[in-house]
Structure formats: C-alpha cells, structure tokens
Structure 1
Amino acid sequence: MKRICPSIHELLAFEAVARHLSVTLAADELCVTPSAVSRQISGLEVFLGVELLARVGRSFVLTHAGRHYLQRIQPALRMLESASSDLMSSQHGRGTLSVSCVPTFMTKWLIPRLPAFGEAYPQVMLAFHQHLSGRQAQPHDVDIAIRYGSGHWPGVVAEDIAGRHFVLIAAPESVSGLTLPQSAQDLADARILIHQGEPDAWAQWCRARGLAAQPLRSGARFEQYNSLISAVEAGMGYALVPRCLAATEIAAGRVVEPFDSAELLGQGHYLCYREEQLESPVFLAFRNWLLEEGHKCGGPGLPEQQNVIPEFE
C-alpha cells in the first residue's frame, strides 16, 4: 500500500522556511537555491492539498494549517536526525543511550556511580527518560530500562543488577525513642512500614526466618524506597529495604540494622533491553559496567562467557 508521506526534502524545506519565514535564509541553511526551496514548498502544498505559507509583502507567515502541521512534523524530524546521528556514531563506539530508571535506584545508587562510567567511556552519552511502571511495555525509543520487580517483562531480556538482598532498618534509639529489637521475634509489637510495590516483603522475610507474619502491626505505606527510608530515619517505624539503597544512611548512622537481618527476597532491580541491543558496542559498554557495579553490591554480575570488553575504534 502506498504511504501517504511527502518527501523528506519537501518536509525539510517547509520546516526551515517556517522557522525563518524566509526562503532565502532557508536556502542558505539547506545549501540549495531559493528557487529549489520554493519548488519544494509548492510540491508539498500540492501533495497535501492545502496552503501552508502565505506571502505578506516580502516575507511569509504560516497559515493555521501550516502552524498545526509544523507542530506535528518538527518532533518527527528531530527524531529522524537523532536516530541517524546515533547510528552513525555507534559504528565508531560513540553514541547516545536512552535510559529509563526507577527513581530511588537512580538517585541513591546509579547517579553516584555515573562519574566513574563517564571517565571510562567518555564517548557514551546517556539520555534519561521517565521511568516505566508496573507492566508497562518498554517503548522502542528506550534502549535500556532499569526496573523494579520479579524480572519478568514481555518482549525484553531482564538481567539482575542488585537489590534482592533486603535488610531490616530502624532509626537509632536516640532518634526513634524505640527500644531496638534484639531478635526478629521482638518485632511482634513494633510498627512496620510498607512499600506499596512490595506488599509481601514482610511475609517473605518472616517465612525465611521462621516467624509468623500475622503478629506484625502494619504502619504507613510508601510508593518509593526513598520515602520509606526517610520515614524510618524520622522514627516512624521499621522497614525492609534493599541493602544497596540504604547503604549511605547505614554508613552514616542515620539508620541502623538492629540485628543480622539480610534475606534474599523475590524482587529486585533489573536491566531490561531488547536482544538486538547486544550487537551495539555502546550498549555493551554500559550494560557490562552496570552489571559489574551491581555485583559489588551482591548482584550476580556478568555471565562469565560474556565478561568481555567491547571494542571501540
């Protein structure tokens, strides 16, 4: 079926004239003659069957249809340019990776480590997008998604980064006013805090330690681990969190592990990507670095047969 789409030359000519409101300036930008630009604009208007530009004296103004059309095609032209530039750069080990990442993991774990990645791979640029939630499918304009869950999302490879080792944290006694438990059984009378995305974490943790989950008294619920950790620090109760997300607060003494509480639970932070990405040296550089950083925090790291350094020209 024939596609209803004008030529790229016509679209570029129209977009340039619409920005400059001048055929001459548009021609200079596109390195063609003004008459060539005029022919492209005329051809586009004939193809669409609508006037896009109206002449006023020696200059042009956009018609209502022209303004609407410009708003629709400009993002598409930028995407085409960006995709072409990224592909050309990636052939030489340079390029941009679009990354989506859950908020707390990004601010507390990933961003503090990114300067080291930038030093090792200065030719790789990262562009961050809004994080994906729940079962939301991974868009094609997102190269890498760092997600929290069980590791099963449709249409993508999911590799465990870190975050499945959960620990119980509490505010220091001087801040919370609570008596720190000496054993897990002491939690029966404690106020516990819940992460909305991991409502079964306490039940899993209790089963792993041979405790009944029912005596635990539920407290406030939070959407993000960042808020959950802050609530513990403020003395609102106890919480189970991935150790890698609370490492800074534990090291600083703002929250404490009252006893040895680490357990491997069912959910964690995963690197999600489409399998064809493995052909890209730029992607491999970030993926390999990320999994190795996760390994330092208890993650499985890279499969041994894939522990290779991507080649850059």
Structure 2
Amino acid sequence: MKRACPSIHELLAFEAVARHLSVTQAADELCVTPSAVSRQISGLEMFLGVELLARVGRAFVLTHTGRHYLQRIQPALRMLESATNDLASSQHGRGTLSVSCVPTFMTKWLIPRLPAFSSAYPQVTLAFHQHLSGRQAQPHDVDIAIRYGSGHWPGIVADNIAGRHFILVASAQPADAAALPRSASDLAQARILIHQGEPDIWAQWCNARGLAAQPLRSSARFEHYSSLISAVEIGMGYALVPRCLVEGEIASGRIIEPFDSAEVLDQGHYLCYREEQLESPVFLAFRNWILEQGHKVGGPGLPEQQNVIPEFE
C-alpha cells in the first residue's frame, strides 16, 4: 500500500536544511552524513512531486512551495518533539503540566501558594492556559482544569479543592455602620451584589439557614468574583463569596463578615482531569499537593485510599 505521508526522517531532514540552508549543518545536527540528508530530501521531493529546495551557487534556498510546506509541518514536528520529551521526562518525575484555571481562584488562592509547590517539586513545570468557562469541553492539550461549578462535567473526574464554604461579606467601612445586617432577615432591603454565573446562590444560602428565599434587591451583577469582591470593598453592597477567595481581604481588615454566615453550598472550585492522568507521577504530585492545600482551608483533601505520594528520581 502506498504511503499517505512522508517518513519522519525525510521531514526532519527537510526541516533542518530549511532552517540552516545547508546540508552539512543539517547533517551535523541530525548526526548523519550529508549524503544521507541529500537522499532524504530527494526522497521527500519525489514523494511529493514538487521541488522544495533550489540550489543557488553553493547555497540552498526554499522555493515558494517549500516555504509554505515548512510553515505547515514545523508546528507538527515541534509538537511531536515536545510530546516525546514530556513522556521521557515524566518517567523520571519531571515534565510539564498544562493547566487552565478560573481567574479569581488563580490570582487570589493558587498563585500565592505556587512558590511552595515549585520548591517541593522543582522538576515540574506548570504551563497556564486560558480558563474554561461554563460547560466548555476540556481540550486534550489541557492536562488539568481548575473550574468553578457543581463538580459535574461529562467525561471528566472532578475533585473538590475548596470554595464550597460561602460567607456573607461587607465593606469594613460602610456608609452606615449601624445598618450592618445582624442576620439573614436583615438583608431584605439591603443592596445585594450577585455573581453573574451563580444567581441561585442566595436562594441556596437562605435554604441552608432554614429560611424562605428572601426577595433580595440586586444592585449589580458581576462576571468574576474578583470584581464582586472589589465592589464589596468600596461599599457597593453585600455579597456571598467562597471564603477561600477573601482570606487576604478579611485578614487585612478591608472587608468583614457582619455575622457568622458560613454555609456549605453546592458550588466550589474543582480539579478536573481525565482518569488516565492518575497514571502520571507528575500529575499525581500536583494533585496531591493542591488537594492538601485545599484541605487546609476547609476542602475535603485527598481521598484516604488515594493518598499515595509519587516517587521521584
């Protein structure tokens, strides 16, 4: 059966010559003889039926077709090289994890803790990608997605890190300190700030406290918790937020919890991955670490039967 694709040796030879515009330098890089490189180039051009490189005096130049072909194959060759390096590295506890993370959790919770991870696992590199929103499927080039939601995404394992403990927060310097709510029933006439993606959180919170859902007066809606928290800080209103996202603001006194308002609700921040990732020591190192960090702020932590620390060489 006729090949549908050139051999990898032919493609690597062409890519090397195209970069160096020299058969000799390409041969040195590939650790073969110049005649072997020339045979690979000839075989590739014969297979494709086009001229990719033209000789001008003693030098080579790319033809228009060759330049276009190079632009198409180079990313694929880099991906093959990267995948091979990652596989080889992962067998020795080294490698790169591609991570997607919701913005507020990343800036307020994850990044402040990353130096500790890097210190414990210097051989692991984290490459961050754009976060996944809503029901967006997890791409295959993302090893880990830290997502906010109820923990149910098709075809994905989701471990709760933290963020299910919600509290009511207010500005530390309200316009009228005497008007601060002292219980949930005091919120009926208050200015309420709502997370755009979680409009039912207030009803869940009231239900958890054994109250009928309050007919609350919404004054603004925000797409991200970071904006919501900033709005609370300047006194725009009251909000329900995951406690893990406001640790810094509460510790510094910029916002307050007017009364004991903590409730465990059906939302949180989850570590999302495909089941086969559990075979990777590099992934397990990150999973063990982040679930342990979450446990310190009220998360469930690592399931006891899976509390395995990977070995690194």
TM more than 0.5 = yes
Partner secondary structure for residue 38 of structure 2? helix
1:3 to partner: Cα distance: 6.1
| Shift >4 Å, 4+ stretches | none
1:64 to partner: Cα distance: 2.6
Residue 55, structure 1, aligned to residue 55, structure 2 = yes
Residue 130, structure 1, aligned to residue 134, structure 2 = no
1:61 to partner: Cα distance: 2.4
Aligned to 1:199: 199
Partner secondary structure for residue 18 of structure 1? helix
Cα separation, 2, equivalents of 1:239 and 1:49: 67
> What is the one-letter code of the residue matched to 1:115?
P
Partner secondary structure for residue 134 of structure 1? coil
Cα separation, 1, equivalents of 2:102 and 2:225: 10
Partner secondary structure for residue 166 of structure 1? strand
Answer with 201-210 or 159-168: which moved more. 201-210
The sequence identity of aligned pairs, in percent, is 86
String of CA shifts for 1:185-233, please: whole Å, max 9, x gaps: 1111111111112121111112222444352111221111111111111
> What is the one-letter code of the residue matched to 2:182?
Q
Aligned to 1:15: 15
Q: TM-score, normalized by length of structure 1? A: 0.94
Partner secondary structure for residue 140 of structure 1? coil
Aligned to 1:98: 98
Cα separation, 1, equivalents of 2:217 and 2:268: 24
Q: Give the RMSD, CA atoms, in angstroms.
A: 1.7
Aligned to 2:250: 250
Residue 168, structure 1, aligned to residue 164, structure 2 = no
Aligned to 1:30: 30
Aligned to 2:308: 308
1:136 to partner: Cα distance: 1.7
Q: TM-score, normalized by length of structure 2? A: 0.94
String of CA shifts for 1:95-120, please: whole Å, max 9, x gaps: 11111111111111111111111111
Cα separation, 1, equivalents of 2:95 and 2:7: 27
> What is the one-letter code of the residue matched to 1:4?
A
String of CA shifts for 1:136-184, please: whole Å, max 9, x gaps: 222222111111111111122111110011111111135x556321221
Partner secondary structure for residue 246 of structure 2? helix
Cα separation, 2, equivalents of 1:232 and 1:102: 20
String of CA shifts for 1:31-58, please: whole Å, max 9, x gaps: 2222221221221122222222222332
> What is the one-letter code of the residue matched to 1:97?
L
Tell me if structure 1 keeps the 8 A contact 2:138–2:145.
Answer: yes
Answer with 134-143 or 244-253: which moved more. 134-143
Cα separation, 2, equivalents of 1:32 and 1:290: 46
Cα separation, 2, equivalents of 1:64 and 1:153: 46
> What is the one-letter code of the residue matched to 1:204?
Q
Aligned to 1:276: 276
> Structure 2: where are the runs of 5+ without partners?
none
Tell me if structure 1 keeps the 8 A contact 2:162–2:270.
Answer: yes
Partner secondary structure for residue 15 of structure 1? helix
Cα separation, 2, equivalents of 1:53 and 1:135: 47
Q: Give the paired residue count.
A: 312
1:190-269 counterparts in 2 under 5 A? 190-269=190-269
Cα separation, 1, equivalents of 2:308 and 2:40: 50
Aligned to 2:39: 39
> Structure 1: where are the runs of 5+ without partners?
none
Cα separation, 2, equivalents of 1:298 and 1:202: 21
Tell me if structure 2 keeps the 8 A contact 1:124–1:282.
Answer: yes
Tell me if structure 2 keeps the 8 A contact 1:173–1:180.
Answer: no
Tell me if structure 2 keeps the 8 A contact 1:53–1:62.
Answer: yes
Tell me if structure 1 keeps the 8 A contact 2:206–2:214.
Answer: no
Partner secondary structure for residue 312 of structure 1? coil
